[in-house]
């Protein structure tokens, strides 16, 4: 028996669950890396990879001729679904509460708490006035610690473009935040 015939025989003898498990073991990490390259956070990338296998489990695996091509096509569709959901839920307009340090109530003077709260509101409002790309590039640099080169690669733009977005954000924040001093 030739090698391709042997592989087909081995594949045919595997149950549906065993084939799915074998594909998951082989392609989970490459799928997670694919989602990370697309700019998805690590924990969400894991969830997206899981979604790919859920979608595969719902299909008739017998009709899938090239498992790798099929998995990455489904992964591409998951990215599209994720982007549509983010747009429809207006996620770029949300400021997660985790991004703001909580003030300690113990020993905090009410006037200092009020000042801090007002400063956070001014910062959030000023960030909200920036264009989506400028805000995201600024936060990727300042919050996530990405370099201009990393941001440029993520957005497929030049480092100079990233630099101009960061300068624009800093200028705007300076103007908006220090007018009150």
Q: In the predicted model, is pLDDT for residue 58 greater than 70?
A: yes
For residue 181, what pLDDT is reported? 45
Per-residue pLDDT band for 97 (boundaries 50, 70, 90) equals: low
- The tokens of 37 are what? 């390259």
Distance CA 169, CA 152 (A): 16
Least confident of 63-67, 68-72, 101-105: 101-105
Q: In the predicted model, is pLDDT for residue 103 greater than 50?
A: no
Instruction: Output the pTM of the full model.
Output: 0.45
Per-residue pLDDT band for 20 (boundaries 50, 70, 90) equals: confident
Q: In the predicted model, is pLDDT for residue 179 greater than 70?
A: no
Helix spans in the chain (H): 3-13, 16-37, 42-58, 67-88, 110-129, 132-142, 148-155, 159-177
Instruction: Convert 25-61 to b/e letters by CB count within 10 Å (16 or more is b).
Output: eebbeebbebbeebebeeeebbebbebbbeebeeeee
Say if residue 132 is exposed, middle or buried (CB neighbours under 10 Å; 0-12, 13-18, 19+): exposed
Q: In the predicted model, is pLDDT for residue 1 greater than 50?
A: no
Per-residue pLDDT band for 99 (boundaries 50, 70, 90) equals: low
DSSP 3-state of 89 = coil
Distance CA 123, CA 106 (A): 24
Residue 38: DSSP 8-state: T
More confident residue, 109 or 124: 124
Digit-coded pLDDT (tens) for 66-86: 888 999 999 999 999 988 887
Digit-coded pLDDT (tens) for 125-173: 989 999 999 999 999 998 888 899 999 999 999 999 999 999 999 999 8
**Residues 26, 29, 34, 39: what is their CA dihedral angle, to the nearest 10 degrees?**
160
């Amino acid at each position: 028996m030739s090698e391709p015939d042997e592989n087909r025989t081995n594949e045919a003898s595997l149950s549906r669950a065993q084939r799915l498990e074998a594909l998951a073991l082989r392609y989970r990490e490459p799928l997670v890396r694919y989602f990370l390259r697309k700019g998805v956070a690590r924990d969400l990338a894991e969830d997206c990879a899981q979604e790919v296998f859920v979608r595969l489990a719902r299909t008739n695996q017998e009709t899938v001729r090239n498992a790798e091509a099929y998995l990455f096509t489904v992964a591409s569709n998951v990215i599209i679904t994720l982007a549509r959901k983010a747009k429809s839920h207006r996620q770029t307009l949300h400021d997660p509460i985790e991004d703001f340090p909580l003030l300690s109530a113990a020993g905090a003077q009410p006037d200092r708490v009020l000042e801090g709260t007002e400063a956070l509101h001014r910062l959030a409002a000023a960030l909200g006035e920036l264009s989506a790309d400028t805000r995201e590039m600024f936060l990727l640099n300042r919050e996530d610690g990405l370099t201009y080169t990393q941001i440029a690669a993520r957005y497929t733009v030049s480092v100079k473009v990233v630099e101009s977005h960061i300068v624009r954000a800093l200028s705007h924040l300076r103007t908006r935040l220090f007018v009150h001093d």
